Structure formats: structure tokens, C-alpha cells
Amino acid sequence: MGTNGNGRRAGAKIPDVRRPMEEADCVNDMESPELDFVYDDCDTQANEISELYSYTEHPEYQLNVKAFEDIMEEFNYPPSWQRLTNKQQRTVIMKLLEHLDVAVSEIRMRATRCILYLAQGCWAEMQSDAEQAHWARINVMMLYDMGTFSAFVELLNLEIVRSSSAIASRKLAESLADSINLRVILSVLYLITEYMRTEKDNNESEYSHLVKNFKEELGTPFGEELLPVKLLSMVTHLCAGTTPHFPMKKVLLLLWKVLLVYLGGSKELKERKSKLREQAGLTPLSEDTIEIIKGMRASSPPPSAADMLENQNPGQRKLKENERALRRQTFMKQTSLDESDEQIYVDKEDTGNGSEDYSMEFQSIPSDGAQAENNPNCPYYMYFKQFDSPPPPPPLPRSLPWQSKVRQKDIDMFLENVRIKFVGYSLPGDRQTIAGLPQPIHEGIDILKKHMYTSLSEIQAEREIEIARSPLTKGEREVEETEAEILYRAMLPNLPQYMIALLKILLAAAPTSTAKTYSINIMADLLPEEMPMTVLQSLKLGIDVNRHKEIIVKAVTAILMLLLKHFKLNHVYQFEFMSQHLVYANCMPLVLKFFNQNILSYVGAKNTIPMFDFPACVIGEQPELTKECLDIGDSSVPYSWRNVFSCINLLRILNKLTKWKNARIMMLVVFKSAPILKRTLKVRHALMQFYVLKLLKMQTKYLGRQWRKTNMKTISAIYSKVRHRLNDDWAFGNDVDARPWDFQDEECALRVSVDRFNHRRYGTGGDQEIELTPLETDINSILEANIDLDDEFKENYELWLEQEIVKSSYFKMAELAALLQTEIPEGRSHLTDSHTNLERVADYCEANYFQSENKRLALESTKNYTTQSLASVAYQINTLAYNFLQLLELQTMQLAEMEGQMNHIAQTVAIHKEKVARREIGVLTANKVTNRQYKIIAPANPEKPIKYVRKSIDYTALDEIGHGARWNGAASGTPRGRRSGPPANAATLPAPTTKPPTPPAAVRAASAANTGTLGRGTLGKSSREYRTPPAVAPPQVPSHYAPNYPRRPPGYSTLPVAQPQVGMVHPNQHQSATNYSQQDLHSSMPPPPSPLIGSDGEHSQHSSLPGQFIFQRASSSSAGGGSIRGGSVSPPLPPPPMDDELAHDGFGRPHHLTMNTQYTSAVPAIVPDEEDLPGWVPKNYIEKVVAIYDYYADKEDELSFQESSVIYVLKKNDDGWWEGVMDGVTGLFPGNYVEPCV
């Protein structure tokens, strides 16, 4: 689908809204009498209620009666509403409202039909229309007093939700049955609103308190939104195609009447405008446009006397000569300088319609009608003899009807121009200094100031400029919570969609629309289930369809007019925001297309059958459907009230959109609206002609001198009927504002001001808020953000994905492929064929010219062939060029899209680089104290790692020496709870700042070799190893490097070490760590075992008691070397702790030994303290460790734990992964993420 909605691609040029007239204008000037139409907010109450129902809804009236009779029988009341007392009537209504809460749809809808019958006035019991209207008014007020309106709004919400379901969306709505429930609910709401509107205008009404409560209730949200907003949402849903069976006529009528009651009509607008002008210190209003125009006469030429005389005496030569003279005068250029005052007076009465097709024959008719009538020699004698002379019209006032106005902007521009002209300088902003200017200029300035008019819009716009210039000192004042303010705030989020939907409905209902625009189903509440079978039924349905469209156009135009007027009065930028979106949605060409028809036929159309209107169709006996019934109508009224009302509303909307907007006025010129508007002047109604002439006046200076020269009568009508601005050069086009290159800047500046106003007042974002909001660049945080999607989007997600994502790109590629493969090659082939055909035509024309006897006829034939051939070739070239331009445009779009994607990727990369750079800068500039560490020296030739195999110590070797017995005395050494502080050299230990990586699965033996088999390594707890979390990932040490531990045991070397003997180890004398640094590390003999260093950093004391066990930690076994990281050999491990460390084994691990005086040659079984451990701790655990880092499991068989979690080790594997239990869960975990509990 193209943008124009007709399935074809739109042209690249600006569309011309003119189209050939489908039928000739069969109504001449004599058949267009002056209309006595009185413009008002709406029609009479009877007509407004009758327009609610379609003619195809007549069978449903009896369903309402039947529902009422069934319910009255169920309630044990007689089926007569008049016979019930007031108390009984209220009881019945209360029970009906209770039935509305029933879940069964049939019972609920039967109650709604019964209430609808009551709101219709119980017409089955009435004998006349007046009686029915009386009871309808009483019943409606009683229904509202009992809370029926709010209950039916809740029912409307329920039906909307049900209709918006997926099943309802897939159903094709083609008949009345698809919207029966909604139509009943909307009819009840409309009747209540209409009667409330009528009572609102009655100042002496006894129901004034109910009207006041009703207006307040309309301003209260029903659920989550206001009732007008809910109805507008129904319109948008219909246009979107999600709910095609909504009864749009009833929805629009209800929306119109709700806005009319809630916002107010013309009377309320006038009162509020006067109040606001008084509050702003402005002069009160002295003129009312509608009231002044009521006293004007419609401009229309008199009937052509020449035609009448020719019809009466066609054979008289004298009359023919007069006819020729008069006709010559008709086609002569208008000259009024030498006309008499009498002729000018007649011309003033009869000009101003703007159509130059009208003759000016009667300008020379003598004003003395009696003299012409009694003189047989007068050429108009037969005219006055045939027609009785009408009484002379009352003399028109010689002055203009309007008081001239001028804006402050015009005075400033005038002062600037005259200062530059006479003095040679300008004083911007100075409105008082007139020194050096001539005296006539002083008088002119005084006249301008005397007629200066300041509007509320100018005051509000200046206030916004001050706030934008000084936001701190000129802050927002307290906003008055008016009805228009509340409604605008509620409509603001979706106001563009509302405007587009209303214009789509207007386009579908316009009489100039074709079948291509019927994509929106506006006939859901009209078409019957069975199509008519007879001619009379078809005629009735055709009249009903036209009537249905006219009512929809009337409602849409009234809604737009109400919103524009109230928003403009509340704040000018609210009006501008709505106007901009109407212009963006092509409202202006749509209105011009509406008037591009036989407007006289449309105004005089009688698409109504009075005997089928409510309540005439249900009161009394109904005649059979005959052709005479269809012809019955009010022939005394030569117009249709709703059609004239719609035309005037559309003209007023167009005026409001284009007033003081040069860019939009240029759109009228480009769309060639002048001929269309001039045809509209044929309707003889003063108000309609007034707004047409205002539109023509706006664009007169852009239409050119030739147009003004040939349309002087139109200009004269503008001068006599439209208000004048004193220094507005509208008739000559010399104004400096007529510069089209500045118009787009004006529109952009206005849009910026409107957006700023909405952002500041309604919190829809703003520049300051955007600057203070940080840009989110983290993909994880964006993915984790909780975005609330409404239910409608979730239900229609697949449809959205298909239309917005898939089809959009698919259509572009399909169109590109069609251009490349089909249209452009076909265009080239057509040009080639045309070249061949042109050669044949040239040969034929040449031969025909030489062979033909009539050379002139042959030459004319050749000219015709040439013209036709050139036109054909020009068309083909134009088509090919257009297709090629489309190809280039699509390619440009694709390149732009690709460029945008590349820019997005580049921006993403730049953001990532910035993040990484800032992170690295933060790490490098952190204030940390790093001590000197030992360097990593890689071996020149890495040797093959030796697998470590644990082998049990043979304790029997200690029996003969006497060191295998246990001693029952107190353990020597310093207890675990007493610490004398770290040694002097402990401060020199470097504190690592990075977290050790998790041991990989391929290399796992190094951790076990470094930490030992009993869970104690060379690192003590006091060293606070691995306490600082990493800032960035550390660089990895090469695989052949040895682990860089901060404290090296004595005798450490990167070379392999000889295997020590398994058995008893003789303890050496105690000496400090500095003694070991003096040993020869390259000696061929294995280094002596180092003294133990406790976990608290102190040198433990060796006990010489014979009953003490000495444990030997073997660094390797005879079966092979341990698997050390990178092939390096671990340093010799210290001997096991003595009694001072054995005293601490109970803290964090089970007691391996029991202290008694008996000598034991074997290790007893591991028995934990049952009283201190939880029940899930296994009895055979070998060590209790605590986590020093957080770890998250990558596989199912691993443990996840936090820092400071306690784990009981069951097994230590050779690859560095340990098996343990935590909180009753068994799994693997890296051994270098924990340390023993101390």
C-alpha cells in the first residue's frame, strides 16, 4: 500500500486535489435560494435523537418492548410503566441495575434493553410524540439519579475488552448482529447525555443539580481514563482494524455530546473568553462574529434578465439587441469608476459571491421599479410584467460591518520601515520614539494604536517566551484545572493518533470518497444481516447509507471544532499542538477534496425518510413501504441542516488551521483551492460565504496579478464582508511577509515552542532532563531492565512483528526487485518499440503526403500523428524516469540504513573502548601500597612434571626410637588463643591483590602439591592472602612458571629435588629464617627440613618429649613425581606441626589422635565432635575450610558459595578440585578458593 492508500505508489509531485466533476452542475443560480439556516451548537433535540438510530434498526424496537414485558412479569408488575408509582419505578430500576452485574450475558443484555426502552420514553404506551418526549425526559433523569450512567460505562468497558479479544478481532463484522450489545449500551449513554445537554441550557430546570453532578462525573476518570478518551480510543481501535465491528456512528455522536456537555458550547466559550480577557487586563469583546453575520445578506447575483427576455419574446429584435449589448457588457472588464451611485449601490448588494461566471447585467437596472414597470418601451417591461415587483429591499448600511484591527507586530514593523525610510536607522524594541518622522506618520501611528487589538493567544505566547528566557525567575504559574486542561492532559500521550483516526473516519464518510477508501468499516451498525430483495428496500438502504455518512461527517466536524476552540481558549500552544497534527495528517487537502463536489446538491440533499425517524416509526399505525413513503419529506426547507452545519464547520476548521500561518496558506495555493472555494460561494448563506471569503483573502496576494485582475468581483466581496487589517496589503502582494523561503522556519520555530511547552508543563521530557539522565551503555543492565508492555501489545505482538519488521523490509526489497527486474526493463523496451514505431509513422506520413491530392489534409494528419507519437514517447520517458528515480531513492534509503547501522556499531565500539579505558585508568591510578615481590624465574629447560602420589607414613619405624608414644601431659607451645604478634619480618611480606584463578580441569595437581595433603600450606592466615578482590583480570603466568608465593620455605629451588626417605625425621635445632637464606641452594644434597611456621606467623617450639608423633609430608613418591603446574617442582615442604599445633587441630578439623598415656602404633579412626557439628556433616570428613572468595558453579556437580561459607572437605583430588559438603549439598569446588578454619 502506498501512502495515498490506493495500492499504488504516490507520485513525487505535490498532489492536486482537483478532480473532474463527476456530474454537471444542474442547479443554476435561480434554483439556489437564500438559506434561512441558523448556525448553532447542534440541531433540535428531536432531530438529534432520531439521527441516533438507523432505519435498519427498526426490528430491534420490538425486542426492547419484549424485554420490558418479560422483566415486568418476572417482577410481578403490570407491563405498564405509567401505572406504577414513583417508588415502584425506582424499585424496578434498582433490580435492573442488579441484573447488570450478572455474569450471564443473556440476562445482562435483557436488562440493558429494558433500560433502553425506559430511556426511549416507553413509546409503546404513548399516543403522541410530545407525550413520548415528556416521559423520556422523566425516565432519563430517574435513571441517572439511580446510578445508571456509571453502570453502563462499566458495561461499555466490559464489551470493549470482550470485543478486543483475538476471536473478535478475526471475525468479519458485516452486519448489525456483530455490534448489537455495544449499540444498546451506547444508545442508553447517548440518550442520558442528550437530555442532560438540553436541561443544561434550561436555567429554570428542576433537574439542575443532576446536570451539575453529571458534568462533574464526566470529569472524573471511569476506571483509568476519562470517558471522552475512552471513546477516542474506540475510534483508533476501529481504524487500526483490531475491532472492525464497533458502531462508529453511535460512538462519534456520544463523543460529540459528551464533549459538548463537559466543555460547553458557544455560550460558555463567550463567557469564559470575556472572563479571561478581563483577568489579563485586556479590553472586553465588542463584536460577536455569529451575531454580526446574522444581519448580513448572502451575496448572490440576480437572475439573468437577458435569458428571461429571450424566453418570453425570442423574436423581438429590440430585445435581441439589448441581449447582445448586455452580454457584451458581461464579458467586458469591470469598470466602476464611471458608474452612478445608484449602480454602485445595486452592485454592493449583489456582488461578493466570488464566481465570475455570474453576469453583471442588472447593474444598469433603474432603481425606480415602478417607472420601468409602467414604461412599455423599457427593455425590462416584460420582466416586470411577468413577475410581480418585489418590495424594495431595506437600505444597507454604508459602513463596513467590522471594526478594523491591527496587531502589535504590525505596528512594530511599520515603525521599523518608516524609521529606515525617513531617518535611516531602526530602534528594535522601541515603540515610543517617533522623533524625525513626518507629521502624517505620527497621525498614522496614532490611528494604528487606536485600533490595536491584543488577543489572549499573544499574551500566552509572550508568557512562554519569558519563561524560556528566564526559567528560574519566570517560573510556571499555578495551572487552573479547567475542563479543557484536564481533557488535554488526558489526550496528550495519544493525541496524534486520535487526530489521524478522526480524519480517516471523515475521509471514509466523505461523499467524494471512492470505494478504495472503504478500508475502514463505518457501516457496522447499518448493514442488515440479509441484503434487500426488492427495489424499494434497496432504495431505503441507499438513503440510509447516505444518511449514515452525513451524520458521521457532522459528528466528526463538530468534535474537531469543539476541541480546537476550547484548546485555543485554554492555551494557544495546546491549540497549535492539535493543529500541527491535523496538518501533518493532511486535513487541509481532505477538506478541499470534500468541497470539490457539487456543493449545492450536497447542501440540498434530502437523505431522510420522516416516517422512519424515531419516534414516528413506532407511534401509531405504520403504513406499508411504498414509493410515496420514500418521497415524503419536508419540501419547505431547501437544505439539509446537518450538511450545512458540516460545511460551515469544515470551513471554520480550515480557517483556524491557516490563520497567520504563511506556510499553510501556501499549501492552499499549491493545492489550487481558489476555484474550489469560489464554487462554494454559490451556496447563498452569509456565514458560509464569510468563511470562504476569509480563505480567499489569505491567499489573494499569492495568486498573482492576473487572477486578481479577472476576479475583481470576488475582491470586492472580500472588501465588503471580511474584516480589514489596516496595514495588511492583501490585495496587491507587496507585503514583505510574502516570502516563501521563511515559511518553513516559522513552522519549525512554532513546533519547538509547542514541544517545550508540553515538556515543561506535562513532564514528557525536556532538554535538562535528558542532559541529567546518564546514557545507559551496559547491555546486561539493558537486558535486565523491566519494561512493562500492555496487554494489547502482547496479544498483537505477532501482528506488530509482521507488519512493522518483516513486511516493511520485505516490501522495500520486493519493490526494488520489481523495479530492477520488471518495470525499468519494460520501460526501456517500450522506448525501443516507440523508436521503431516512430520511424514507421514517419515513413507513412511522408508517403501519404506525396501521394495525397489534398496536401493540407495530409499535413493535418501528419501533425496529429506527430502529436500523438510525441505524447506517447513523453509519457514513456516520464514513466521510466520516475521508476529510475524510485530506484535511486530506494538505494539511497538502503545506503542510509546501512550507514546508520555502521554508525551505531562504531558508537557501540567507542563506548566500549571508553569504558575499558576508564576502567584501566581507574586501576592504574588507584592509591595502593605495593611491596617488593620475588620475581618469577622460569627454568631454562622445563622438565617433565612428576606425578604426586600420596603414601601413608609407616609409623612402625618410630617404635624402636620411642617417639611413637603419646604423652598425656599438656601440650607445649603457645595456645591458639594467645598470639604474641607476627615476627619482625612479617611486614615485608607482599600482599597479593588479585584473586587466584580457578584451577582448570587439565592441570589440577599443582594446587594439591602446594597446599599439602593435610590442608595446610606454606601461607598462614595472618598474611591475609587473597583478601582484595580484583580490579581487572590479572595477566596469566606462563604455564611453565612456578607459583609465585610470597613466602618461600628454606631450600626453595626451581630444580627438581631428590626424594627424601620415608620414615622418621630428626628435628633440627631452632634457628631463624635468615639462617636458611645463607645456605647453598645449589648443593647436591637435599636441603635440611625447615622448622615449622605456624599459621599465625610465629615459629613454633619443638618439643623433645618422646611421646610425640612426627608426621612426614612427602613431596614425591617412588612411583613418580607429582603433577606440578608448568612442570616446575614444588619446594620442600615443612615437617608437620608439633604438640603446639596439635593442640589446635580440634578447631576446624576432627581429632586424628586421642591423647592418652598408652603407646599406639597405628592412627586411630577419625571421630568428630558429635555435639558441636550439624547433623548433615559426615563423620569421615578430613578438614573444615572457610571460603575466601565467591564462587558460582559452572556445572551441576559443583558447589556455589559465598565468602565466609564453611565447607567440610571429604576428598582432595590431584587436579586441585576438592570434594566437600556445605549445607547438606555435596559437590566439587576449587581448593584455592578456601583456606583452613583457624
Q: What is the pLDDT of residues 748-784, one digit of tens each?
A: 899 999 999 999 999 864 334 444 455 566 666 666 6
Residues 124 and 178 in one domain: yes
Supply the pLDDT for residue 395.
60
Supply the pLDDT for residue 142.
96
Strands (E) located in 60-148? none
pLDDT tens digits, one per residue of 75-84: 999 999 999 9
Residues 1028 and 1122 in one domain: yes
Give the distance from CA 801 to its chain's centroid. 17
Contact 483, 263 (CB under 8 A): yes
Supply the pLDDT for residue 818.
79
Residue 121 scores a pLDDT above 80: yes
Residues 1029 and 1156 in one domain: yes
Query: Is residue 292 domain-resident?
Result: no
Rounded-to-integer distance, Cα 42 and Cα 11, Å: 41
Residue 1091 scores a pLDDT above 60: no
- Residue finishing a domain among 1167, 1198, 1220: 1167
Matching residue, cell 624465574: 937
Angle at 209 between CA 208 and CA 211, to 5 degrees: 65
Number of residues in the chain: 1238
Mean pLDDT of 399-421: 89
Residues 910 and 1036 in one domain: no
Percent of the chain with pLDDT over 90: 36
Residue 1109 scores a pLDDT above 60: no
Banded pLDDT at 258 (limits 50, 70, 90): very high
Residue 850 scores a pLDDT above 80: yes
Query: Is residue 122 domain-resident?
Result: yes
Residue 1105 scores a pLDDT above 60: no
Least confident of 128-132, 696-700, 874-878, 1183-1187: 874-878
Supply the pLDDT for residue 851.
86
Query: Is residue 22 domain-resident?
Result: no
Residues 616 and 525 in one domain: yes
Other Cβ atoms less than 10 A from the Cβ of 546: the count is: 15
206-237 exposure pattern, b = at least 16 Cβ within 10 A, e = fewer: ebeebbeebbeebbeebeeebbbbbbbbbbbb
Residues 152 and 231 in one domain: yes
Residue 99 scores a pLDDT above 90: yes
Residue 1123 scores a pLDDT above 80: no
Residues 898 and 1041 in one domain: no
Query: Is residue 1215 domain-resident?
Result: no
Question: Alpha helices of 1063-1174 — where are they, by DSSP H?
Answer: 1073-1076, 1139-1142
Mean pLDDT of 456-475: 88
Output the DSSP codes for 872-914.
HHHHHHHHHHHHHHHHHHHHHHHHHHHHHHHHHHHHHHHHHHH
Supply the pLDDT for residue 937.
62
pLDDT tens digits, one per residue of 264-297: 999 999 999 999 999 999 999 888 889 899 888 8
Residues 225 and 268 in one domain: yes
Question: Alpha helices of 767-854 — where are they, by DSSP H?
Answer: 767-772, 779-784, 791-795, 797-800, 807-818, 824-851
Burial of 516 (0-12, 13-18, 19+ CB in 10 A): exposed
Does the N-terminal peptide bond of residue 284 adopt cis geometry, omega within 30 degrees of 0? no
Banded pLDDT at 515 (limits 50, 70, 90): low
Query: Is residue 346 domain-resident?
Result: yes
Supply the pLDDT for residue 1176.
84
Nearest Cα neighbor of 889 from 815, 782, 995, 806 is: 815
Residues 957 and 1054 in one domain: yes
Rounded-to-integer distance, Cα 195 and Cα 134, Å: 11
Does the N-terminal peptide bond of residue 1131 adopt cis geometry, omega within 30 degrees of 0? no
Q: Which residue range(s) make up the domain with 254?
A: 45-283+481-585+606-639
Mean pLDDT of 1095-1105: 38
Supply the pLDDT for residue 204.
83
Rounded to 5 degrees, φ, ψ at 1165 are -70, 155
Residue 352 scores a pLDDT above 60: no
Residues 144 and 269 in one domain: yes
**Mean pLDDT of all residues in the chain?**
74
Query: Is residue 763 domain-resident?
Result: no
Most confident listed range (275-284, 921-930, 1092-1101, 1110-1119): 275-284
Query: Is residue 1145 domain-resident?
Result: yes
Supply the pLDDT for residue 859.
86
Q: What is the DSSP letter of 1099?
A: B
Rounded-to-integer distance, Cα 566 and Cα 555, Å: 17
Banded pLDDT at 1050 (limits 50, 70, 90): very low
Query: Is residue 13 domain-resident?
Result: no
The sign of the CA dihedral 421, 426, 429, 433 is: negative
pLDDT tens digits, one per residue of 940-994: 676 676 776 777 777 776 666 554 444 444 444 434 333 334 443 433 334 443 4
**Domain count within the chain:** 5
Please give the model's pTM, rounded to 2 decimal places.
Answer: 0.59
Mean pLDDT of 36-45: 94
pLDDT tens digits, one per residue of 1175-1192: 888 888 888 999 998 998
As a 3-state breakdown, the chain gives helix, strand, coil percent values, each rounded to 5, of 50, 5, 45
Contact 1152, 1145 (CB under 8 A): yes
- What would the grid cell of residue 450 be? 487606536
Contact 1008, 1126 (CB under 8 A): no
Rounded to 5 degrees, φ, ψ at 1207 are -125, 140
Least confident of 217-221, 225-229, 626-630, 923-927: 626-630
Residue 920 scores a pLDDT above 90: no
- Residue finishing a domain among 1139, 1167, 1195: 1167
End-to-end alpha carbon distance in the chain = 78
Supply the pLDDT for residue 397.
58
Most confident listed range (105-119, 629-643, 986-1000): 105-119
Residues 6+ apart with CB under 8 A from 298: 34, 35, 684, 685, 686, 689
Supply the pLDDT for residue 776.
61
Supply the pLDDT for residue 390.
57
Residues 429 and 356 in one domain: no
- What would the grid cell of residue 877 be? 520517458
3-state secondary structure of 1151: strand
367 vs 680, which has greater pLDDT?
A: 680
Contact 795, 166 (CB under 8 A): yes
Q: What is the DSSP letter of 965?
A: B
3-state secondary structure of 509: helix
Rounded-to-integer distance, Cα 381 and Cα 376, Å: 5
In the chain, how long is the greatest CA-to-CA distance? 170
Residues 174 and 131 in one domain: yes
Question: Alpha helices of 125-207 — where are they, by DSSP H?
Answer: 129-145, 148-163, 166-170, 180-201
495 vs 876, which has greater pLDDT?
A: 495
Supply the pLDDT for residue 45.
94
- Residue finishing a domain among 1103, 1134, 1167: 1167
Contact 1099, 1071 (CB under 8 A): no
Mean pLDDT of 373-379: 48
Banded pLDDT at 245 (limits 50, 70, 90): confident
Supply the pLDDT for residue 741.
58
Mean pLDDT of 653-678: 94
